[in-house]
Structure 1
Amino acid sequence: MKIEVSAEKRTLQGKGASRRLRGSGKVPGIIYGGDNAPQAIELDHNDMYYKLKMEAFHASILTLSVGGSKEQVLLRDVQMHPYKQLVLHLDFQRVDQKKKIHMKVPLHFINADIAPGVKTSGGNVSHVLTEVDVTCLPKDLPEFITVDLIDLSAGHTLHLSDIIVPENVEITALVKGDDQAVATITIPRSVLSSGSAEEGGEAEGEAEASEE
């Protein structure tokens, strides 16, 4: 998904200037990295607030237009007000297309409803991870990674090594030898209890039949 962000250069800095900026419906931010010096910017608050609700906005190469000049950037940090729906500050990092980047990418789980542990055993899927850090060149960055649960049985766990990732993309934890758990299926106590009760009832019926 191609996402473009418009911004203007910001000349006034400091707490007072940032407060006045927010009061006018703008958000202070900064672009850093690469060969250029850091650049203070200002962005439209409402536009940023709704863009931040987009999953892809947090895991995509963004096109940031500042004063007519466009740069490829990553969103690196967001500061939000503790209790108000207010974006306080945004940090963007310039992207070098020839250098690998580290980025957290969301996991999208599919086929949970037909996994053996759910469909046959009545279990519930527990998501141990909802995102994963990957290493790749900017052009290879996936918007998300699909995790297929179609073969997952009750009591079993899916690990990072079981995930199929796009070409030229590495899961950072695996490179370090850390094969973390991603998802598992557990059987609720209510299902276990009903199963035990049914088995007990069948046993009693068989005993009565034998006595007769």
Structure 2
Amino acid sequence: MKIKASLRKEIGTKSSRRLRNINNVPGVIYGENILVKNIFINHNFLYLLIQKKYFYSKIYKLEISNNIENVLLRDYQLHAYKKKILHVDFQRVNFKKKIFIKIPLYFLNYEISPAKKISSGIINYFIDNVLITCFPKYLPKFINVDLSKIKINQSIYLSDLILPKGVKLFFKKNSIVVNVHPLKNKQE
């Protein structure tokens, strides 16, 4: 997917405010020991993209003056109370180097699990995204967590996740991703 951007000729607070007033978002592209590029992107287009969960784990082709750069979204700033993006940061991607990125988890099949069907268990979600490392060609949009076999008083840990080819978790401890507890009796 392509994102069209334009180079900013001016930088600074006043220039950024002017861009926002005409429905644009100021931003930067950095990385790969290349000079930082100051850019701007149409606000409405960018706002629609950030609503999609996979937006954070996808490599985009950023088109600037007929030049294409492969980038990842690294950060953005939102207005405190308006639905408005104030600034966006992209990082260049080198397909020959591994990247570190947070990937969302998608929880599947709880409705058919023994914990739900037999016991009406209550599920607790502790982690909804994980930090991974991989080469860009192996970058998944998300990682599925299959809950179809989970039972009451069971947990799924980071080490239990089934990872796509070429993807490794980057974590220090084996944390609980999700667990299920029995529904407490209201008369107790």
TM-score bracket relative to the smaller structure:
over 0.9
Q: TM-score, normalised by structure 2?
A: 0.96
Show the counterpart of 2:64. Answer: 66
- Determine the C-alpha separation between the residues in 1 that align with 2:179 and 2:113: 11
Report the alpha carbon displacement of residue 58 of structure 1 after superposing the two structures with TM: 1.0
| TM superposition outliers: structure 1 runs of 4+ over 3 Å | none
Give the deviation of 1:78 after TM superposition: 0.5
Per-residue CA shift, 1:121-152, capped at 9, x if unaligned? 11022111111111000110000001011111
Q: What value does the CA root-mean-square deviation take over the aligned residues? A: 1.2
Higher share of residues assigned helix: 1
Q: Give, in angstroms, the shift of residue 188 of structure 1.
A: 2.3
Match of 1:171 in 2: 169
Match of 1:40 in 2: 38
Distance 1:68 1:47 in 2: 19
1:181-192 alignment, distance < 5 Å: 181-190=176-185
Counterpart of 1:103? 101
Count of aligned residue pairs for this structure pair: 188
Identity between Structure 1 and Structure 2 (%): 38
Q: Contact 1:117–1:152 (CA<8 Å) still a contact in 2?
A: yes
Corresponding residue of 1:134: 132
Counterpart of 1:86 in structure 2: which amino acid? K
Say which SS state the counterpart of residue 100 (structure 2) adopts. Answer: strand
CA contact (8 A) 1:118 1:185 kept: no
More strand by share: 2
Structure 2 regions of 5+ residues with no counterpart? Answer: none
Matches of 1:54 and 1:67 in 2, distance apart? Answer: 26
Q: What do the CA deviations read for 1:134-187 (whole angstroms, capped 9, x no partner)?
A: 1000110000001011111101110011110001100101xx3x1110110112
Q: CA offsets, 1:96-130, max 9 Å, x none? A: 11111111111111110111111111102211111
* Cα deviation, residue 29, structure 1: 0.3
Structure 1: 5+ residue runs without aligned partners? Answer: 197-212
